[in-house]
Amino acid sequence: MDLFEKCYNFEEADQAKAMNLYPYFQPIETEQGTEVSIDGKKLLMLGSNSYLGLTTDERVKQASIEAIRKYGTGNAGSRFLNGTLDLHVELEEKLAEFVGKEAALLFSTGFQANLAISALVEKNDVVIIDKSDHASIIDGTRLGFGKVKRFRHNDMNSLESSIRRLDSQAGKFVVVDGVFSMEGDIVNLPELVDLREKYGLRIMVDDAHALGVIGKNGSGTADYFGLTAQTDIIMGTFSKSFASLGGFLASDKKVIDYLKHHARSLIFSASITPAATAAVLKALEIMKSEPERIEKLWENTTFMRKGLNDLGFNTGNSVTPIIPVVSGDTMKTLKMWRTLFDSGLFVNPVLPPAVPLNEGLIRVSLMATHTKEQLKTALEKFEQAGKQIGIIDRLEAGS
């Protein structure tokens, strides 16, 4: 059998393109602010993870430019050997302080930070994950030599049931998202911590979508619940609120030191660039000194969610700036995306297997820099598209 046969038989993308319903890899021609340009057309951006709007901040841009002038465009090696800069060490120290941990460790992407899970899970260990966890968490567990168990989304009874069936002598590691990237809800960390104390678990919280959003000055889920000491590892990414690219893990010094010497996704990968590192340092500074950005983000979130709900849309259990708009089957979801796109809204369609069959959704995400006028315009376009596709009527009928 030809290894490439699967490639030549893959037709779903071509079929969607032929129907003018292919939503992916749209080439954006401008910086990613509240408005972007695609093929010369202006669209209102409601699909970005730049929650605080810092990707277009001139101070962040300037910090990156100055770092390039001082350090060059890259580090020509891994952190383990020649690729560690004083800039990296400075950022690690400031991130550890920010999230309330002893030490932190930078990775070139958030995905690589989660792959480091594999360094902690050995043959006799068990890692237990939420069914809605990030794909990078799933891949990190697959690379480890321990067993992998899954529990129902944010269901601590399901988690406890899984724990009870495990060997009491096994090392147990629970990895969850802080803010779930599709549902927009927050992990039930207080009950998870109760299980930690009861069964001797270790906990890691992926705060990719929580940093800059919840907790003091946006310091994340553990701070939001006042449970930083009981949260063993905090993970974060830089591609969202931090307006850059990369990721980190924060924990006890001994845990971080172990990861420095065992995490293959760190040791065998080139280190985060000077420009990306400097951008995070500046974004962190702004995040801490301008809390009004987070206040504005939540003001926009509340306004948009209420507006969508008032129109009759189902936004699930979201309580964060990630707002899923349930749209139904694949075809209806793609038609909704296309209608919104043509009307000038950039949103993200989410299809199976990322969501259950016939539970497709349009993922809306808010930014602190959105204006009320922009959000009012977005709601008008959602109403028009929802009626045209039949989503609002279907939801109002209770089906």
CA terminus-to-terminus distance, the chain: 46
Out of 101, 209, 335, 381, the active site residue is 209
**Would you call 209 a catalytic residue per the annotation?**
yes
| Cβ-defined contacts of 88-92 (< 8 Å, 24+) | 88/271, 88/272, 88/277, 90/281, 91/277, 91/280, 91/281, 91/284, 92/248
CB 388 within 8 A of CB 342: no
Under 8 Å CB-to-CB from 247, ≥6 apart: which residues? 106, 107, 108, 109, 110, 111, 112, 113, 114, 208, 235, 236, 237, 238
Out of 134, 153, 172, 240, the active site residue is 240
Out of 64, 108, 136, 181, the active site residue is 181
Q: Please state the three-class secondary structure of the chain as a single string.
A: CCCCHHHHCCCHHHHHHHCCCCCCCCCECCCCCCEEEECCEEEEECCCCCCCCHHHCHHHHHHHHHHHHHHCCCCCCECCCCCCCHHHHHHHHHHHHHHCCCEEEEECCHHHHHHCHHHHCCCCEEEEEECCCCHHHHHHHHHCCCEEEEECCCCHHHHHHHHHCCCCCCEEEEEEECECCCCCCECCHHHHHHHHHHHCCEEEEECCCCCCCCCHHHCCHHHHHCCCCCCCEEEEECCCCCCCCCEEEEECHHHHHHHHHHCHHHHCCECCCHHHHHHHHHHHHHHHHCCHHHHHHHHHHHHHHHHHHHHCCCCCCCCCCEEEEEEECHHHHHHHHHHHHHHCEECEEECCCCCCCCCEEEEEECCCCCCHHHHHHHHHHHHHHHHHHCHHHHHHCCC
**Would you call 262 a catalytic residue per the annotation?**
no
**Would you call 261 a catalytic residue per the annotation?**
no
Catalytically active residues, by annotation: 181, 209, 240
